Chains A and B, each alone.
Chain A
């Protein structure tokens, strides 16, 4: 049985990855998960300088999911290169670094620094975080802005780039096509859906930022639909995510057209989730006599 999947010339031992921001750089979950068995670790977003993030409360529970507005707290690229990359290099897994910024120049600075590090296989460009005021989502909700930043990053990037798309748009395929036209090597979707929760007893927002990104199993049908639509609109490969809790969910995304999948909020609920999904996909392939994982990609019957 071959569980390998290939995105933009990079081959992963299996399609199971960690969604950015839910897994740190792997250190915190290495006690629970054998990182060697993951397709890739996708890191928390890293900027050119440290970002303090948003005030607390930063997280809240909602029906079937959660809201977060962390605000991309991160130590900046210097610490990341000195600490996080050497940590991840100890493991036999691929490293995908999520890159965030407030301006095109910020993104390009980080992308150029990461170009010095051959252990980093791909870059995921975060143009879809709904929780920061500058940058990020500002580049991810207008097709011309997305086209421009993708093109600028692509000029400097040594690794293939994945543009991470926001679901908070009218037509995600328009964004996907713009990224593809500007040279993106792959897409990942969906980032969180902007949500809100109000504590009726205190008459206060549950999250200090007022709005937060919703994730968790409740958003999965939206994510599957968007992956399916996007897969039919572009030629470049897709990493699908949004509420994946088990192997059945992961396989849905593969059948909808994703070449790989990421597990996000469910890492918080079940820290062993990613390992169970790798095994569950293998069991499914055995059950249905599927030799190559690639035969599942986009294989839903029309």
Chain B
């Protein structure tokens, strides 16, 4: 059940330049799935629309959610000032999340690029598989890498070559000579396009998490659509809603 509520910040710290790590105490944790997201609202009423932010981790006792986000504008800048005990307005949990069962028992790539890294953590925690976790960063600020180490073999790529393979996560696949039966990924559009192409060439399934500017977050406004191969079930026009039909889609189903 989706709900908008005022929750409490448990803790917050900056874990890399402009990348913030916040734990939020909320009952919504009980229903949170890897790959789902929450909408966070500002207190500044000049900025009205919610910021969709992926769920990075769910506390073991299901009482708290962790979000890791980049300060990209006015809204996220405000969130970054919140301290333990502060109120935070959230709506969740939203979207369908990753189909974890499609990876269980298989050899998988779990791939995160940039601010697409965070949702990969809870996915890695929940999936029972031979996990090869590929993380792409701009530089040597390898946020969440240590958290991931506990759940699989981690391969790093950095754009500046300061750690791991120089380049992106696709370069890391090639450099390490690894392969997989199925891919789960979140990251920037060029990375997701490369994964879609790679999966098609290899004849394997890939599940990718998309993002788009959103207004409602619940499927009503039709702001955040992606072109799909088949007609979508809502408007019957090959435009699926990222917030409710996604954000995770089978790569071959979307035209990106």
Contacts and interface: CB of A to CB of B under 8 A. Distances in A.
A binds B: yes
Interface in A42-72: 44, 50-53, 56-61, 63-66, 68, 70
Interface residues of A, number: 40
B12 interface: no
Best-surrounded residue of B3, B4, B221 (most CB of chain A within 10 A): B221
Interface stretch (B18-26, B40-48, B112-120, B154-162): B40-48
Given A22-B221, A61-B48, A61-B49, A271 B235 contact: no
A28 B218 contact: yes
Interface string B135-179: 000000000000000000000000000000000000000000000
A270 B223 contact: no
Contact of A59 (B41, B221, B244): B221
Contacts of A216: 48
Contacts of A64: 45-46, 48
Contact of A268 (B45, B50, B236): B50
A56 B212 contact: yes
A219 to B, nearest CB: 12
Interface string A273-289: 00000000000000000
B237 A50 contact: yes
B1 to A, nearest CB: 6
B223 A271 contact: no
Contact of B4 (A22, A58, A76, A270): A270
A253 interface: no
B185 interface: no
Contact of B225 (A24, A56, A76): A56
A59 B213 contact: yes
Given A31-B1, A53-B237, A272-B4, A73 B222 contact: yes
A66 B45 CA distance: 12
A50 B235 contact: yes
Contacts of A74: 235
Interface string B197-225: 00000000000000011111111111111
Chain B facing A: main interface SS:
loop
Contact of A50 (B45, B215, B236): B236
Contacts of B46: 63-64
B239 interface: yes
B238 interface: yes
B237 A217 contact: no
Interface string A237-274: 00000000000000000000000000001111111100
A75 interface: yes
A32 B215 CA distance: 16
A21 interface: yes
Contacts of B48: 61, 64-66, 216-217, 265-266, 268-269
Interface string B1-27: 111100000000000000000000000
Given A64-B46, A73-B237, A267 B216 contact: yes
B220 A267 contact: yes
Given A28-B244, A61-B49, A268 B2 contact: no
A269 B220 CA distance: 12
Contacts of A52: 235, 237-239
Contacts of A272: 4
Interface string B228-250: 00000011111100001000000
A205 interface: no
17 contacts: A31-B218, A32-B4, A52-B235, A53-B222, A56-B212, A56-B224, A56-B226, A59-B213, A59-B215, A59-B223, A63-B46, A64-B46, A66-B48, A73-B239, A75-B234, A75-B236, A79-B236
Interface of B: 1-4, 41, 45-50, 91, 212-226, 234-239, 244
Given A44-B222, A60-B213, A266-B48, 18 more contacts: A22-B220, A28-B244, A29-B220, A31-B1, A31-B2, A52-B239, A57-B213, A59-B215, A59-B221, A59-B223, A61-B49, A63-B47, A68-B221, A70-B221, A268-B48, A268-B217, A268-B221, A270-B4
